[in-house]
């Protein structure tokens, strides 16, 4: 069979296991969950071992075998879980991950031998590598088990001692190189037991089970069956090379032999046979689908949504949950990305010598698959920033009366049709003075400015290359911080918001749309054109009555429930000539990350799901729009990028 | 009519591979289980001609699952799928009622031989 076709499956599944292993290692280190973490790590490593051996990935198989052996020792309480052991396990897990990647890609071969030796000496065994036996089940297994390996057997010769006692002398030779030949021999003995009374077995069954024999064994069998029948029956035990049954040795009187027992297995009469399980077993099936197919499906669904829009215009509203379900299929729970962060935070915190308590909230919140892939890096940036710059050293924290361990929280929550991802630390907060000073040095702001609002602060630190770090560390401070995060998130149609308080900490919020492709939008008209405003950002609509309009510092504002909102006239912004023709203009209150504005349009048309088509190349001046869509009547509409207005 | 098979393994990779081997040999895969508990439930529900059973699975291992399945149906035909170095566990599985075993890495011919012996 061509193993290559399984490589992708192997990689996906192994990655999941490595992620789970890391998760359990962290639990083990923290001492939570009792025996379960070790058991879980053991199972994960064991599964990887089986898969990699099947794939012929020797390095991965040997490494996981040794790791498994050590874990078994740990599981049985033979090794204390201390910092040194944890360090070894973490390093082994890292190497395992690299070995998996390199085995599949075929590049950067990883040398696993040093680690194998370390694992072996930790497990307290002499160096006997799995390498020789792991791959080719066809090869003989050298020196496994205990003793009895001294002499080379002469091919074809029976080596087992003749067992004493009455009955037919039966000799069985297991095919050389049979994996787990001891179990195979055990099966043959079991098969013999069904033929009659088995007397002495040589070597004894216990030795056979432990593989401590040289391919052949002998037993005494008292049976009524003929020699040929016995041979035929034992051959069927599988992997039997040769069977001999020696009638001449039959000296015991056959009459005393018990009747051959019927080949029933196990106990009968245990309740439950008759009672068929009437209750339906709930089946949960999952399938793995090629991403390209899924993307194609999404495109087709997009077309369907457009067509539905057309139909709705003709016939009235339709609400089809099946459509929402299909869209949901492209969503994935955030833990698929979040799960690797505890390990990352641990390592990062260690490398700067700051104890950090890391918690993750809202793991089950779902996000569009393609977005989930993209959002990992920005979150890594934020976590590293928090550890490197946000959280103070234990000494400083103690002086300030804070707990020595810094608190770092990553949370995901559903927020209407958006997902909010927050990274919160309880560190020193962003130093406004320092930002102000750097900003002046770089000429980013007016030199006379002495204070920064949150918005200004955010705008400055979002600029490419801006860093207040005194020194560049391994982790961050290279000036690829917030600006990279901001760009990435914006390209996904999301927004970034920062709240920081000196001495108390910083919260960075990433707000992402649930899906990239289909957005529920409010359609508004200006002149003859239709514009779509994503509902994610619409908080309410009101009519533009003159009595709610005011002027503040020379700017038009709107007063809604004692809130002052800046007024943005889309008509002016888009350079339309003249005024709205009939009736009252409408106001769409848009919000994003706690910022709000009042958007004035000519008229409102209604809500519709629109399929976002991204612009191929964004040119200057198009920042106002996040894409375009085709409406039900076939007319195009531009989608307004609310973040650019605020 | 082709023989029906229930495949029990916590790794999708392994289930796929065993499934492919058996399917190509004309078997009908009627179900898959990821845990021992699922394996027992699905056996009772599907009554397959053959069960392939991984030893190490979360939520009830393969050996306990064999025990439960054999208790329910003494004639159940279970083939253990084991890894290197698990002889003691395979012996235990056979004592629990498993009929034969194959050792990873799987070779299609060996799997099919073992299957034939079990169904024999």
Q: What are phi and psi of B119, to 5 degrees?
A: -80, -25
Q: How confident is the model at residue A95 (pLDDT cuts 50, 70, 90)?
A: very high
pLDDT at A126 over 70: no
* A92 cis-preceded (ω within 30 degrees of 0): no
Domain ranges for chain A: 3-137, 168-251, 292-330, 333-513, 518-644
pLDDT at B9 over 90: yes
Instruction: Report the alpha-carbon distance of residue A530 to residue A508 in Å, rounded.
Output: 34
Long-range contacts of the stretch A291-296 (C-beta < 8 A, 24+): A294/A329, A294/A330, A294/A369
Nearest neighbour of A133 by CB, restricted to B82, B84, B87: B84
- A345-351: average pLDDT: 89
* B105 cis-preceded (ω within 30 degrees of 0): yes
Query: What is the greatest pairwise CA distance in chain B?
Result: 37
B112 contacts in A (CB within 8 Å)?
Answer: none
Q: How confident is the model at residue A213 (pLDDT cuts 50, 70, 90)?
A: confident
pLDDT greater at residue A602 or residue A581: A602
Q: What b/e string do you get for A608-619 counting C-beta neighbours within 10 Å, with b at 16 or more?
A: bbbbbeeeeeee
pLDDT at A231 over 80: yes
Q: Say which CATH architecture domain A3-137 belongs to.
A: Up-down Bundle (1.20)
B2 at interface of A, judged by CB pairs closer than 8 A: no
pLDDT at B28 over 90: yes
CB contact under 8 A, B73 and A273: yes
Sheet strand arrangement including A518-526: A603-611, A518-526, A529-534, A636-640, A625-630
pLDDT at A503 over 90: no
Q: What are phi and psi of A295, to 5 degrees?
A: -65, -40
pLDDT at B73 over 70: yes
- A120-137: average pLDDT: 53
Instruction: Report the alpha-carbon distance of residue A41 to residue A65 in Å, rounded.
Output: 13
| Residue A183 · residue A239 · CB < 8 Å | no
A272 contacts in B (CB within 8 Å)?
Answer: 71-72
- A571-589: average pLDDT: 79
Q: So what's the pLDDT on residue A468?
A: 53
CA nearest to B67 within chain A: A266
- B17-22: average pLDDT: 91
B90 contacts in A (CB within 8 Å)?
Answer: 180, 183
CA of B6 to nearest chain A CA: how many angstroms apart? 14
CA nearest to A136 within chain B: B105
pLDDT tens for each residue of A257-292: 344 434 333 333 333 333 333 333 333 455 667 777
The interface predicted TM-score of the complex, written ipTM, equals 0.85
CB contact under 8 A, A1 and B90: no
Q: How confident is the model at residue B93 (pLDDT cuts 50, 70, 90)?
A: very high
Instruction: Report the alpha-carbon distance of residue A17 to residue A45 in Å, rounded.
Output: 8
Helix (H, G, I), strand (E, B) or coil at B81: strand
Q: So what's the pLDDT on residue A323?
A: 53
Q: How confident is the model at residue A430 (pLDDT cuts 50, 70, 90)?
A: confident
What token pair was written down for A13?
């599944």
CA nearest to B96 within chain A: A266
Looking up tokens 């069960």, which residue turns up?
Answer: B51
Catalytic hit among A385, A389, A392, A609: A385
Q: Is the dihedral of CA A384, A388, A389, A395 positive or negative?
A: positive
Q: So what's the pLDDT on residue A147?
A: 35
pLDDT tens for each residue of A27-61: 888 888 778 889 889 989 988 988 888 888 888 99
Q: So what's the pLDDT on residue B69?
A: 96
**A518-644 homologous superfamily:** CheA-289, Domain 4 (2.40.50.180)
| A46 classed as catalytic | yes
B44 contacts in A (CB within 8 Å)?
Answer: 276-277, 281
* Closest residue by Cα to residue A424 from A487, A473, A497: A497
CB contact under 8 A, B87 and A43: no
Alpha helix ranges (H) inside A76-174 = 83-105, 113-122, 131-134
| Residue A597 · residue A640 · CB < 8 Å | no
Give residue A503's region: left, alpha or beta (phi > 0; psi -120 to 50).
left
| Residue A120 · residue A88 · CB < 8 Å | no
> Where is mean pLDDT largest: A336-345, A556-565, B29-38, B80-89?
B29-38
CA of B85 to nearest chain A CA: how many angstroms apart? 8
- Cβ count near B68 (within 10 Å): 22
Q: So what's the pLDDT on residue B8?
A: 95
CB contact under 8 A, A137 and B120: no
Alpha helix ranges (H) inside A492-641 = 570-573
| Residue A629 · residue A612 · CB < 8 Å | yes
- The predicted model scores a pTM of 0.52
Instruction: Report the alpha-carbon distance of residue A224 to residue A250 in Å, rounded.
Output: 11
Looking up tokens 């339309």, which residue turns up?
Answer: A576
pLDDT tens for each residue of A359-369: 999 888 888 77
- A219-227: average pLDDT: 87
Q: So what's the pLDDT on residue B36?
A: 93
- Cβ count near A444 (within 10 Å): 17
Q: Is the dihedral of CA B91, B97, B102, B103 positive or negative?
A: negative
Q: Of A119-133, A289-303, A564-578, B104-118, where does mean pLDDT reach its minimum?
A: A119-133
- A195-205: average pLDDT: 87
pLDDT tens for each residue of A595-612: 788 999 988 888 887 877
- CA distances in angstroms from A192 to A167, A188, A218, A238, listed in the order given: 12, 6, 11, 13
Q: Tell me the angle at which helices A58-75 and A36-55 cross, rounded to the nearest 10 degrees.
A: 160
Alpha helix ranges (H) inside B3-86 = 12-24, 36-46, 62-72
pLDDT greater at residue A618 or residue A256: A618
Q: How confident is the model at residue A236 (pLDDT cuts 50, 70, 90)?
A: confident
Mean pLDDT of chain A: 76
Burial of A595 (0-12, 13-18, 19+ CB in 10 A): middle
pLDDT at A137 over 90: no
- Fold of the A168-251 domain: Alpha-Beta Plaits (3.30.70)
Q: Of A388-392, A510-514, A617-621, B107-111, where does mean pLDDT reach its minimum?
A: A617-621
For chain B, the C-alpha Rg in angstroms (whole number) is: 12
Nearest neighbour of A54 by CB, restricted to B101, B104, B110: B104
pLDDT tens for each residue of A505-524: 889 998 887 666 677 789 99
B20 at interface of A, judged by CB pairs closer than 8 A: yes
Nearest neighbour of B74 by CB, restricted to A56, A179, A266: A266
Catalytic hit among A29, A46, A176, A200: A46
CATH assignment of A333-513, among 3.30.565.10, 1.10.645.10, 3.40.30.10, 3.20.10.10: 3.30.565.10
Instruction: Report the alpha-carbon distance of residue A14 to residue A282 in Å, rounded.
Output: 27
């Amino acid at each position: 069979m061509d193993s290559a076709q399984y490589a992708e499956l192997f990689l996906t599944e192994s990655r999941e296991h490595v992620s789970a292993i890391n998760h359990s290692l962290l639990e083990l280190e923290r001492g939570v969950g009792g025996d379960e973490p070790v058991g879980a790590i053991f199972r994960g490593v064991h599964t990887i071992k089986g898969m990699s051996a099947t794939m012929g990935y020797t390095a991965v198989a040997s490494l996981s075998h040794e790791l498994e052996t050590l874990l078994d020792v740990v599981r049985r309480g033979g090794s204390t879980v201390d910092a040194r052991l944890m360090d070894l396990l973490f390093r082994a897990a890292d190497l395992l991950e690299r070995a998996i990647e390199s085995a599949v890609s075929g590049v950067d071969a990883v040398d696993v031998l040093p680690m194998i030796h370390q694992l072996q000496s930790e497990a307290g065994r002499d160096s006997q590598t799995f390498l020789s036996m792991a791959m080719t089940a066809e090869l003989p297994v050298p020196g496994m088990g205990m003793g009895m390996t001294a002499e080379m057997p002469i091919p074809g010769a029976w080596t087992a001692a003749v067992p004493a006692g009455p009955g037919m002398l039966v000799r069985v030779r297991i095919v050389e190189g049979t994996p787990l030949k001891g179990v195979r021999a055990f099966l043959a003995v079991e098969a013999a037991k069904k033929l009659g009374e088995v007397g002495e077995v040589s070597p004894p069954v216990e030795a056979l089970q432990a593989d401590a024999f040289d391919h052949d064994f002998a037993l005494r069998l008292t049976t009524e069956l003929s020699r040929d029948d016995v041979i035929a029956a034992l051959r069927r035990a599988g992997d039997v090379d040769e069977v001999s049954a020696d009638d001449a040795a039959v000296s015991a009187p056959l009459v005393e032999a018990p009747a051959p027992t019927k080949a029933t297995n196990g106990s009968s009469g245990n309740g439950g046979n008759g009672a068929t399980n009437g209750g339906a077993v709930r089946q949960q099936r999952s399938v793995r689908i090629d991403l390209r197919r899924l993307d194609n499906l999404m495109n087709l669904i997009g077309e369907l949504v457009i067509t539905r829009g057309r139909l709705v215009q003709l016939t009235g509203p339709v609400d089809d949950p099946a459509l929402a379900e299909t869209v949901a299929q492209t969503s994935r729970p955030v833990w698929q990305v979040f799960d690797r962060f505890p390990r990352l935070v641990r390592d990062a915190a260690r490398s700067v010598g700051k104890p950090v308590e890391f918690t993750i909230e809202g793991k089950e919140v779902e996000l569009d698959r393609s977005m989930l892939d993209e959002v990992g890096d920005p979150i890594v940036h934020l976590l590293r920033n928090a550890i490197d710059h946000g959280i103070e050293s234990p000494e400083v924290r103690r002086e300030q009366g804070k707990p020595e361990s810094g608190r770092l929280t990553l949370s995901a929550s559903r927020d209407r049709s958006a997902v909010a991802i927050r990274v919160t630390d309880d560190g020193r907060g962003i130093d406004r003075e320092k930002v102000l000073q750097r900003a002046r040095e770089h000429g980013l702001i007016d030199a006379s400015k002495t204070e920064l609002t949150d918005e200004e602060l955010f705008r400055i630190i979002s600029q490419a290359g801006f860093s207040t770090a005194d020194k560049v560390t391994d982790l961050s401070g290279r000036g690829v911080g917030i600006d990279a995060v901001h760009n990435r998130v914006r390209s996904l149609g999301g927004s970034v918001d920062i709240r920081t308080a000196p001495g108390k900490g910083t919260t960075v919020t990433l707000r992402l749309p649930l899906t990239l492709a289909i957005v529920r939008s409010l359609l508004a008209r200006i002149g003859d054109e239709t514009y779509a405003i994503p509902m994610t950002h619409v908080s309410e609509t009101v009519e533009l009555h003159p009595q709610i309009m005011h002027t503040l510092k020379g700017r038009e504002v709107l007063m809604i429930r004692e809130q002052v909102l800046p007024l943005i006239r889309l008509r002016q912004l888009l350079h339309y000539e003249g005024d709205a023709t009939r009736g009252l203009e409408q106001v769409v209150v848009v919000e994003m990350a706690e910022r709000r504005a009042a958007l004035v349009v000519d008229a409102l048309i209604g809500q519709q799901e629109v399929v976002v088509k991204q612009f191929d190349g964004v040119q200057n001046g198009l920042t106002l729009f996040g894409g375009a869509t085709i409406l039900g009547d076939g007319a195009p509409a531009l989608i307004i990028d609310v973040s650019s207005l605020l | 009519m082709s023989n029906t098979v229930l495949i029990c393994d916590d790794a999708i990779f392994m289930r796929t591979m065993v499934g492919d081997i058996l399917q190509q040999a004309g078997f009908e895969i009627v179900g898959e289980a990821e845990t021992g508990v699922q394996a027992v439930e699905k056996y009772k529900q599907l009554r397959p001609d053959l069960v392939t059973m991984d030893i190490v699975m979360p939520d009830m291992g393969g050996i306990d699952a064999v025990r439960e399945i054999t208790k329910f149906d003494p004639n159940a035909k279970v083939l253990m799928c084991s890894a290197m170095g698990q002889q003691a566990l395979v012996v235990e599985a056979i004592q629990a009622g498993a009929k034969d075993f194959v050792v990873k890495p799987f070779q299609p011919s060996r799997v099919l031989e073992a299957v034939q012996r079990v169904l024999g």
